[in-house]
Amino acid sequence: MTKPIYIINGPNLNLLGTREPEIYGHETLADIEAMCRDAAGERGIVFSQHNSEGAIIDQLHKACGYGSAVLINPAAYTHTSIALHDAVKAIGIPVIEIHLSQPAAREDFRAHSYVAMGAHGTVSGFGAQSYLLGLQAALNLV
Ligand code: DQA
């Protein structure tokens, strides 16, 4: 049985479309989900969004076992969460970090990612396209 790609979105990404569109674009999270579902084809995706850190970690644990790889946009937890870093390293399937914007080109507090240290790779700065590029990479890996 082929296992789907888990796509996990962190806090405030439910507000995409209206949240600082000059930075994050005009696509809603539902638009991004539809694009990814289309691009994943028969492999399929499990797409979710969570505002709390623990819920993201629970979803990463589910991906280990039920998923073949993970795309994660950890949003602000990228820059703060050792717990996410540990979970990414613990699950034993490829994890690709995604960002709509290019955090390294923004405020200093966005320059460091705890998730990148455990991720297979990172795609950032391409708006909604970051998800499609990351998905392509994940499909090639699995
Ligand atoms: C983000 C970048 C983060 O720094 C920020 O906290 C977000 C979104 C992005 O997709 O560009 O919420 O992950």
Supply the residues annotated as catalytic: 24, 99
pLDDT of residue 140: 96
Q: Which domains does the chain have, with CATH numbers?
A: 5-141 (3.40.50.9100)
Residues 15-36 pLDDT 10s = 999 999 999 999 999 999 999 9
Give the residue, by CA position, lying nearest to ligand 1 atom 8.
75
State yes or no: pLDDT of 40 exceeds 90: yes
pTM for the structure as a whole: 0.97
Tell me, in angstroms, the distance from the centre of ligand 1 to residue 22's CA.
Answer: 13
Q: Does any ligand 1 atom lie closer than 6 A to the CB of residue 75?
A: yes
Q: Which single residue is written with the structure tokens 């998730």? A: 115
State yes or no: pLDDT of 1 exceeds 90: no
Tell me, in angstroms, the distance from the centre of ligand 1 to residue 78's CA.
Answer: 8
Residues 87-128 pLDDT 10s = 999 999 999 999 999 999 999 999 999 999 999 999 999 999
